[in-house]
Amino acid sequence: MTKSPVTRQEWQAVLILSLGFGLVGIDRFLISTMYPTIAKELDLGYGDIGSITGALALAWGVAALIMGNLSDRIGQRRVLVGSLIVFSLLIGGSGLAAGLGGLLLVRVVMGFADGAFTPASIAATVNSSPPERHGRNVGFQQTMLVLFGLGLSPLLVGFLLREGVDWRYIFLIFTIPGLLIAWATWRIIPESPKRDAESSSVSDWLAVLGHRNIWLLMGGMFCWLTCLIITSAFMPSYLVDHLKLSDLQMGSIMSSIGFGAMAGTIILSWLSDLIGRKPVMILGSIGALAGLLLLNQTGASVPTLFAILFMIHFCNNALITMTVGPIATETVPMALMTTASGMVIAAGEILGGGLAPIIGGQVAERFGIDHILWLPIIMMGVGILLCLALKETHPGKARA
């Protein structure tokens, strides 16, 4: 396949969509670093924190399903700009919450805006890229969520809190950058082809579900997000309560999630442009399962735990990116790309983001925190079988 030259329109579009998704990452994960401070001031318990986290995930999933289809009808640019404006204003609004109810309401609406942006941004990235760079460009765009949300924002929040900045003002910092990105998105991102208005959302969803890959990808997202949620939400307790590590040791180990996810998303997505989507999905799921099995047997060795957790998310975040990005959008006709990505995201967020933490909490309560890793281990085993059943979607490899 002859490679297309990188145009100014391509790199500008990928850059602005990447910055937008980085803001989504900050939007979603910024509050996590501030939970201890917020909980003290607003008198929140662990159950309240879980409710706030789950509420955003459920809203994200519902929005991805509904707004993904809407963006195919009215154009991706309108959905992208609208969602950027809404969650930029609401991230500042989080600092105005006076209690659990207000914070829940803000996070639900914010999750809806985040969920609307996600599938539209993925489809817009694919539309702005030639087929031979779908994987690389979507991988770069998707990695900004973990780089900004799990890598840079915790460092910034820690510094600002140490300097005595009130947590409410920290939220406000990100409002203006979000509005600037919304303006740049309207200027740079071209309008996408619109879906025929005569068809209904239900008919679009049914058309997408007519592709076997979509069913497999929806199941895969349940597996990948179970791994992400369990290892990110319950690993701190596993490391401190089960392995008896200090908070400082725990923090250094947990940082491997962001670094591993960033590296894996870029490298494995780029590799899929060279060898195909399916081989990378199979290798990634096997690698994540091997890492989870090793993690379950590893003692209190900080370097070893860091390396293993890095490997797990090196593989797992690439699986997430490939699932909602290149494979989902390449499976269906261009007019249904955002609908397809939105349906896959919805299945993962509602089940993996909403159901997995509930099941994980019950496992930890009934059997002990030391058994928590068996849930992602089982789901990753299922994920390998789903990857083996996938049809190759890379334009060049699929024709071959």
- State pLDDT tens for residues 224-247: 998 988 887 777 778 877 888 876
Query: What is the per-residue pLDDT for 180?
Result: 93
Q: What is the residue-averaged pLDDT of the chain?
A: 83
Residue with more model confidence, 310 or 368: 310
Q: Which residue has the tokens 């392995």?
A: 243
pLDDT at site 217: 95
Mean pLDDT on 264-290: 92
List pLDDT tens digits, range 63-104.
887 887 777 777 788 888 998 998 888 887 777 767 777 778
Q: What is the mean pLDDT of residues 123-128?
A: 84
- Other Cβ atoms within 10 Å of 26 Cβ, number: 25
**pLDDT above 80 for 267:** yes
Q: How confident is the model at residue 197 (pLDDT cuts 50, 70, 90)?
A: low
Given a cut of 90, whether residue 305 has pLDDT beyond it is yes
Residue 55: strand, helix, or coil: helix
Instruction: Tell me the three-class secondary structure of the chain, residue by residue.
Output: CCCCCCCHHHHHHHHHHHHHHHHHHHHHHHHHHHHHHHHHHHCCCHHHHHHHHHHHHHHHHHHHHHHHHHHHHHCHHHHHHHHHHHHHHHHHHHHHCCCHHHHHHHHHHHHHHHHHHHHHHHHHHHHCCCHHHHHHHHHHHHHHHHHHHHHHHHHHHHHHHHCCCCHHHHHHCCHHHHHHHHHHHHHHCCCCCCCCCCCCHHHHHHHHHCCHHHHHHHHHHHHHHHHHHHHHHCHHHHHHHHCCCCHHHHHHHHHHHHHHHHHHHHHHHHHHHHHCHHHHHHHHHHHHHHHHHHHHHCCCCHHHHHHHHHHHHHHHHHHHHHHHHHHHHHHCCHHHHHHHHHHHHHHHHHHHHHHHHHHHHHHHHHHCHHHCCHHHHHHHHHHHHHHHCCCCCCHHHHHC
Residue 40 has pLDDT above 60, yes or no: yes
pLDDT on residue 168: 80
Q: CA–CA separation, 238 vs 245, rounded Å? A: 9
Which range is least confidently modeled, 110-114, 160-164, 276-280, 346-350?
Answer: 160-164
Phi/psi at 12 (nearest 5 deg)?
Answer: -65, -40
Query: What pLDDT, in 10s, does the model give residues 365-396?
Result: 778 878 889 989 999 999 999 999 999 987 76
* CATH homologous superfamily, domain 8-399: MFS general substrate transporter like domains (1.20.1250.20)
pLDDT confidence tier of residue 1, bands split at 50, 70 and 90? very low
Query: What is the model's pLDDT at position 192?
Result: 65
Higher pLDDT, 159 or 277: 277
How far, in Å, CA of 364 to CA of 234, rounded? 9
* Whether the predicted pLDDT of 354 surpasses 80: no
d(CA 46, CA 175): 28
Q: Which of 20-34, 141-155, 186-200 has the lowest mean pLDDT?
A: 186-200
φ, ψ at 111 (rounded to 5°)? -65, -35
Segments making up each domain of the chain, as ranges: 8-399
Q: What is the pLDDT of residue 313?
A: 93
Q: Which long-range contacts (CB under 8 A, 24 or more apart) does 303-308 make?
A: 305/239, 305/243, 305/253, 305/256, 306/252, 306/253, 306/255, 306/256, 307/256
